[in-house]
Structure 1
Amino acid sequence: MNFPSRPERLGGFRLIRRNSGAHVIVVGNEKGGAGKSTVALHLAIALLRMGQRVGIIDLDLRQRSTGRYLQNRRDWMSHHGIELPMPQEGRVEPSQLRHLDEAEAEEDVRFQAVFSELKAENDFIVIDAPGADTHYSRLAHAVADTILTPVNDSFIDFDLLAEIDARTFEVGRPSVYSEMVWECRKKRAGRDKVSIDWVVMRNRMSQLDARNKRRVGEGLKRLSERIGFRLAPGFAERVIYRELFPLGLTLLDLTEDGSTVAFSMSHVAARQELRELLSVLRLPELADSKIPF
């Protein structure tokens, strides 16, 4: 197999060559449990149902929640004899080399091969980044057109973005993930003369008003003005998301023949949250498209 040429290094940080092609959405932060896989799958299926060609990469190479979700979806389709929209799945494997530079060089080549193939054949690529700082995660963030960061309504998740004063709740300096995103944005702008759009969404939100919820919201608003991300409405905490995973279904599949999940007003509200997220993302490729769900 002939691999693409090695990516260039800028200040010790690698940038994969993007060229033209699909719009890349990276769903990422460096914390598990924020709902990244749920968001990634719902975005991918929503784009497919809008007539877009979609590729998807799961970079959580240990847990592979997105990969398991897709396998559950294939199993559901096989069992019911029904076709559902499916993204084109790209798969990368971790390097087993022990020398760090050699391992990263091997992962550079593997990522670029999968990325280039998906980019040539799709309108969008959705990348589910791991809840950790990995080489693959940095490669993915550096090729993003849009970075979507789900955070739970807690100061544990907030700490991933910035430090906060425990007494006054004043926002301090940006934390490790924000610094990594800033580095990616700066170097992409320098090389490709484009800006990565960074959107933070509050996910798994309680439907009850609470002082902590308000404080997190106020802190995110102040931080967004300081380091330049946009805020998006997120998904409320709903049992349905946990029920859908083993079936491989999304909210947009519940009216399909064979679905055993009763469609309710709660699901209508959840679909509206997904529509609002798509609107806030302002994906230029969808500028003239109507949301059909």
Structure 2
Amino acid sequence: MAHIIVVGNEKGGAGKSTVSMHVATALARMGHSVGAIDLDLRQQSFGRYMANRRAYVDRSDVDLPLPDYRELPDVSPDDLEPGENIHDRRLSTAMAELERDKDFILVDCPGSHTRLSQVAHTLADTLITPLNDSFIDFDLLARHDGATGKILGPSVYSEMVWNARQMRAQAGLKPIDWVVLRNRLGAQQMHNKRKMGEALENLSRRIGFRVAPGFSERVIFRELFPNGLTLLDLRDIGVTGMNISNIAARQELRDLMAELNLPGVPINF
């Protein structure tokens, strides 16, 4: 069975598509067979990122690893079982096709609550939740009293993950390994970083996730998207003199892949 990685939260602008692309292509570069699905049927940032990569490979002489990206298939309402949701069928059909020969399937979820996202979370072996390093995004996980620092209760997203865990337990599946990424870290605002770190560590023990460092805010990520490139592709496309920021970004990706602790993936690559 393929190991299913779901990248999800319910807030846009946290870097889900960037994380999805880099994790999927890093796994493909290591020789794993990787499938990929974008469940944001409206914006499709991850799907467009993949399409940009395919177009770049087709027009250049560079052979870059390409995950097997699939769009959700169309399903006729006449083919549904009584009471079956059409989106459930579309997702299950795509997953079944990919699971035949894939080591990993990466599913990128939209930045909102949808039926597809809800179902995808129940399928996750590993759940990656990128967060901007601010208390605005912390509110995605829990309600927080700014005066006392106390956690007042879980957010609707945390409750959705809890429900997904319960459904997996009832089905006899292994627990979700939930990893929260502190994404888009800035170089300044050390006091806020420390407070965010303390709040996340406290919350992680209460609702059961691991905290991992994600990507810092860097211009390079905006430059890579139009050609579907990632940090690990730079040498392949002829970039020889990488600056300190690019080197640091590559190390962040290596640290992320090690922190995910995916099956069959070495700590260093």
Q: Which bracket does the TM-score occupy, shorter chain normalised?
A: over 0.9
Q: Deviation of residue 217 (structure 1)? A: 1.3
Matched AA of 1:242: R
Distance 1:233 1:203, change over 3 A: same
> What is the CA-CA distance between 1:42 and the residue it aligns to?
0.1
Contact 2:204 2:210 in 1 (8 A): yes
1:276 maps to: 255
Amino acid at match of 2:268: I
2:149 maps to 1:169: yes
Number of aligned positions between the proteins:
266
SS in 2 for 1:284: coil
Counterparts of 2:83 and 2:60, CA distance in 1: 42
Report the secondary structure of 1:205's partner residue. Answer: coil
Task: Give the C-alpha shift of residue 278 in structure 1.
Answer: 1.2
Instruction: Indicate conservation of the 8 Å contact 2:130/2:180, yes or no.
Output: yes
- Cα 1:135–1:262 shift into 2, 3 Å: farther
Instruction: Please report how far the alpha carbon of residue 102 of structure 1 lies from its aligned counterpart in structure 2 after TM superposition.
Output: 8.1
Retained in 2: the 8 A contact 1:37–1:128? yes
CA displacement 1:206-255 (0-9 Å, x = unmatched): 02243222211111110001001011111111110011001110000000
**Within 5 A, what are the aligned runs for 1:29-178?**
29-92=9-72, 105-178=85-158
Q: 1:158-211 deviations in whole A, cap 9, x for unaligned?
A: 101000012122222010000000110111012124111101010001022432
Other structure's SS at 1:285 match: coil
Aligned-partner SS, 1:60: coil
If the length of structure 1 is used for normalisation, what is the TM-score? 0.86
- Give the Cα–Cα distance (whole angstroms) in 1 for the partners of residues 135 and 214 of structure 2: 16
Q: Could you state the TM-score of these two structures normalised by the residue count of structure 2?
A: 0.93
Q: Within 5 Å, which residues of 2 pair with 1:176-195?
A: 176-195=156-175
1:246 maps to which of 226, 237, 242: 226
Q: Aligned-pair RMSD on alpha carbons?
A: 2.0
Alpha-carbon shift at residue 103 of structure 1 (Å) = 9.2
State the one-letter code of the partner of 2:260: L
Greater shift after overlay, 189-198 or 226-235? 189-198
Question: Match of 2:6?
Answer: 26
Instruction: From the superposition, tell whether residues 66 and 103 of structure 1 become closer, same or farther in structure 2 (CA, over 3 Å).
Output: farther
What SS does the aligned partner of 2:85 have?
helix
Displacement of 1:81: 2.5
Q: Secondary structure at the match of 1:122?
A: coil
Structure 1 CA distance, aligned partners of 2:76 and 2:248? 45
Q: Determine the C-alpha separation between the residues in 1 that align with 2:214 and 2:138.
A: 15
* Structure 2: 5+ residue stretches without partners: none
Task: For residue 258 of structure 1, report the CA deviation from its aligned partner.
Answer: 5.0
Q: Tell me by how many angstroms 1:88 deviates.
A: 0.5
Aligned 8 A contact 1:94 1:107 in 2: no
Cα distance change on mapping 1:151 and 1:102 into 2, 3 Å: farther
Instruction: Encode CA deviations 1:239-292: one digit per residue, 9 max, x unaligned.
Output: 100110011100000001355x95222111111111111111111222xx3633
- Corresponding position: 1:291 with 2:264: no
Distance 1:94 1:130 in 2: 19
For structure 1, the 5+ residue unaligned runs are 1-20
Distance 1:116 1:227 in 2: 31
- SS of equivalent residue, structure 2 residue 264: helix
Any conservation in 2 of the 1:61–1:93 contact (CA below 8 Å)?
no
Structure 2 vs 1, CA of residues 94 and 41 (structure 1 numbering), >3 Å: closer, same or farther?
A: same
Aligned-residue offset at 1:154: 1.2
Q: State the Cα deviation string for residues 115-139 of structure 1 (Å, max 9, x = none).
A: 0111112100011111011011011
Change (3 A) 1:200 1:290: closer
1:59 and 1:104 mapped to 2: Cα distance? 19
